[in-house]
Structure 1
Amino acid sequence: MTVESLLLSSVPGIRHAFFTRAGGVSSGIYAGLNGGIGSQDEPDKVQENRRRMAAALDVPPEKLLTLHQIHSPDVVVATEPWPLTVRPKGDAMVTKVPGIALGVTTADCAPVLMVDPKARVIGAAHAGWKGALGGVLEATIDSMEGQGASRGDIVVGLGPMLRQRNYEVGMEFVARFQEAGADNERFFSSASRHGHAMFDLPGYIHARLHGAGILMVDDVDLCTYADEDSFFSYRRSTHRKEADYGRHVHAIVLED
């Protein structure tokens, strides 16, 4: 049902989980543990799936928080739970309140879970290419420091995401990254199709984190597109012309 970061698992005082699609009640294209409130799955099944995730994290369902994600660098400081019907817009959360699970929803984008074990501050970021390019990782780190964290003490776990061998992009995509920095060329390799390239999202995220002063980073090194039995994938569903796709929720929580 879950995958864990070895590095985050070694940190006392937190629980975390990168959820797979195993262990849920949804069916069809959503088969398994679909946590996507924005999906077209049956709402009662999504709620049951999220209840199971909350139980795995040992928190009440109302304390497993997610956002209305918009591929932005916007960060929300979570001090208390909010209803699912009024989720704030943004793509990252931070908190120093024990018992609140910070969840990010993904289906190819990167879930990035963070903790400063000394200051007892946690963060969770949804980092697709647009969010990572726009600075969501740095904004999350800055917000954690605003809650008392120190970037030199922050430990990061990267979860399942779309990997370079399955991340084909057009040259206009490459140009966008080249405009942002000439050294971004290193995150692209040749594709089998002319006029395309393969993008290294985890490599780019690693570089952004390192540039922000984060040195303790662990990557579970799993590809959402390649492993259909374990993960939902927006890109895989798009290639198959399916009507919709399931979403994962990945989360971190401070123990009481």
Structure 2
Amino acid sequence: MSIDVFCAAALDGVKHGFLGRRGGVSTGIVAGLNVGMGSADDPAAIAENRRRATDAVLPGAALVSIYQVHGHDAVSVTAPFAPDSRPRADAMVTDRPGLLLGILTADCAPVMFADRAAGVVGAAHAGWKGALAGITDSTITAMEALGADRTRIAAAIGPCIAPASYEVDDGFARRFAASDPANERFFAPARDGHHQFDLEAYVTHRITAAGVTRVEALGLDTYADDTHFYSYRRATHRGEPDYGRQISLIGL
């Protein structure tokens, strides 16, 4: 089975891809292209899946990943990290050809950035905590430190959990309202005391508010599509003991 690579028109001319779960060697409940080193999957299968993912987007590149912690720190990358010394961060930026930045998700929003003129790219993991804390702002600032200009940056938001699949409680919604009362617009009514949260729309808002004028959201729901995507929330609702992670990639 071939690997699914979803691309964004906003990033045309830049090597990138939001990969799904098909085309890998993992089996069982994480069957497919699982790249999550935090899963209970066979490490050899994960390594082969990561190799296949790299070849699908930028053959011969060095895949770079970080230890994602749902925070707001972005790191500048000049060389791959050893698996046991990955920085704890949620975004990477680089201006070095041959490096392929990889973000792992299973409902959170993967966001890819590029300033073609400056030759600078970025990749961010935007779960609700990181998005609220400003992970996309940190990514844009880190790109500018390498010579990018936010008025030239294009961004794309890949597969993530959609509002219809993302029910949250009042306490969750209050966190966003405390940051900005206007965030109310990202929540739709649900059953009593609950709301449907639009993570993709909120991340889009944060990026455009930072001065990036070209933002594309792919509108792909990880929870609803178990053929193409892994989903932490879906696995939890099904009572499954483990879940896979897909990878999103960008490089020069």
TM tier relative to shorter chain: over 0.9
Match of 2:105 in 1: 106
Q: Which whole-Å deviations, capped at 9, do the CAs of 1:96-126 have from their partners, x for residues lacking one?
A: 0011001101000000000001101000000
1:40 to 2:40 alignment = yes
Match of 1:134 in 2: 133
User: How many positions carry a matched residue from both structures?
Assistant: 249
> Among 10, 15, 32, which residue is 1:7 paired with?
10
Unaligned stretches of 5+ residues in structure 2: none
- Residue 84 of structure 1, CA deviation: 1.7
Match of 2:164 in 1: 165
1:211 to 2:243 alignment = no
Preserved contact between residue 74 and residue 136 of structure 1 (Cα < 8 Å): yes
Q: Secondary structure at the match of 2:219?
A: coil
Q: CA–CA distance in 2 between the matches of 1:25 and 1:176?
A: 40
Q: CA–CA distance in 1 between the matches of 2:89 and 2:140?
A: 15
Please list, as runs of the form range in 1=range in 2, the aligned pairs for 1:98-247 lying within 5 A after superposition.
98-191=97-190, 193-247=191-245
TM superposition score normalised by structure 1? 0.95
TM superposition score normalised by structure 2? 0.97
1:29 to 2:32 alignment = no
Q: Secondary structure at the match of 1:152?
A: coil
Match of 1:85 in 2: 84
Letter in 1 for 2:151: G
Question: Percent identity at matched positions?
Answer: 47
Q: CA–CA distance in 2 between the matches of 1:75 and 1:6?
A: 25
- Residue 54 of structure 1, CA deviation: 1.1
- Residue 81 of structure 1, CA deviation: 1.2
- Residue 59 of structure 1, CA deviation: 3.7
Q: Secondary structure at the match of 1:205?
A: helix
- Residue 201 of structure 1, CA deviation: 0.5
Letter in 2 for 1:117: R
Structure 1 runs (4+) greater than 6 angstroms displaced: none
Unaligned stretches of 5+ residues in structure 1: none
- Residue 52 of structure 1, CA deviation: 0.3
- Residue 210 of structure 1, CA deviation: 1.1
- Residue 85 of structure 1, CA deviation: 2.2
Q: CA–CA distance in 2 between the matches of 1:201 and 1:107?
A: 13
The root-mean-square deviation of aligned C-alpha atoms, in Å, is: 0.9
Letter in 2 for 1:23: G
Preserved contact between residue 59 and residue 101 of structure 1 (Cα < 8 Å): no
Q: Which whole-Å deviations, capped at 9, do the CAs of 1:193-251 have from their partners, x for residues lacking one?
A: 21100001011011111110011011111000010000000000010111010001101
Please list, as runs of the form range in 1=range in 2, the aligned pairs for 1:34-73 lying within 5 A after superposition.
34-60=34-60, 63-73=62-72
Q: CA–CA distance in 2 between the matches of 1:27 and 1:239?
A: 20
Letter in 2 for 1:48: E
